[in-house]
Structure 1
Amino acid sequence: MTRPDWAPYGVDLDRPNAARVYDYYLGGAHNFAVDREMAAQAMAAWPELPQIMRANRAFLRRAVRFLVRSGVRQFLDLGSGIPTVGNVHEVARAQDPSCRVVYVDIDPVAVAQSRAILDGDPLVRAVQADLRSPARVLDLAVTEGGLDLAQPVAVLLVAVLHFVADGDDPAGVIGGYREATAPGSAIAVCHATADGQGDKADEHRAFYARTPTPMTMRSRAEVGKLLEGYELVEPGLVYMALWRPEDDELPDRPEDYPGYAAVGFHPVGTRPAP
């Protein structure tokens, strides 16, 4: 295929990519034919996928607004993907213009497009790094993104932790960020699950096995285990549609949106208002 102007050289145009497929589900334009083909096949087996992805993005917006109201002004968005309308810096700075955001992604297309969109904004940066290396990510977040690790930081792992395989020690990865950030720092997680989804989840995992980032769906108990060390705010670890929904966001069947979501804080430090 012809390389689009926005796609950096060296990017594989013939293999689907999770960040670009997600962009397509959200109605974005930064994806390739191979990504759209994979999305179409996945939606044929699971037609609700675009709605599920939009519900995931709605959780992200609610979590960011909550964290700003709770006093957090720094955000580290891991596996941030390609910026679309309603991304973290837009939501956070609508609450407080002083908020600082660092976007982190391993995909060069996502990072290149993020940098193009964010060019000239002194409070927002995009860096290319592997979230499984907390020390490297945090070094870039400080040196290039201006984060102050002595102050609270919200670590966002929204629709990305299920791309960290068990063999890569996801609990250890989360622990690396928790231990390096100040008391009062937070985590927000939304994680895909196969709970109650049967064959649809199996087919979905098979699609992502074709990408550089295979998917590991986890049960509620498994996701909860990964969050040990944080105090979760109400309502705890729940289906993403049930995490503090707006009145017009609560679906009739929250279990049809198969992702578990939670927000938590360090045990010592700033606490959100009830």
Structure 2
Amino acid sequence: MGRLLEVKQLVKSYEGKKVVDNMSFNVDEGEILGFLGPNGAGKSTTIRMITGIESNGSGTVLFIGKNINTCMKDYQHSIGVVPQEIALYNDLSAYDNVKFFCSLYGYQKSELEERTKEALGFVGLWDRRKERPGKFSGGMKRRLNIACSIAHSPKLLIMDEPTVGIDPQSRNNIMEAIKILNSRGTTIIYVSHYMEEIESLCSRVVIADKGHVIEDMDKVELKRKYKIQGQNSLEEIFLHITGTQLRDEV
């Protein structure tokens, strides 16, 4: 399993205040990496820098060994982003939403239509393809958001709170979809405030606080490290090392 993404010493300041301070971690091909931290930890800014939406003050992001700043177009064609805020066009049908986002990656005609159909079918919305998102429940909107992000078959999928504000059944459906995507070879960075999702999905956990990484290790090893201090669950460990309950940060 090779190294897919390398985040090296990222620094970003706003109005003289560092919000990302020497942030460094790696993502290996084929893994689901849980990225955690309390509010103010620098997670959102780091994600924006990783995706190329925001320039970094200093530091480097490498994708398959190449600096993303030297191959940004190719890099952004290789990643998908599921944002925390639902990003859909309410005046377009579900089908046309997915088709539009997929077309941005250069797909046309029959291949574009096939990818659109496959993505909608994967998230269970093919039968609702003619409807507009305004008629959808929160869970259906989240699933449509995912369809828009995976239709171009990204190598790396970055998911920022993809289950916020939805019912348990929709959350379970999305989690099962994530497992299937991963089994098909998609590498995933997963940001969530729900520790049970991290427990279920992620093999490795990065915990950030005050702009930098404070823990980065295999989930089993992380639990073993803190067990000697009486911490037995990821939720207890997070509280122990950050002083914050993760769910209080929603």
**Same-fold status (TM-score > 0.5):** no
Name whichever structure is richer in strand by fraction.
2
Q: Give the TM-score normalised by the residue count of structure 1.
A: 0.33
TM-score by length of 2: 0.35
> Greater RCO between the two (CA within 8 Å, min separation 6)?
2
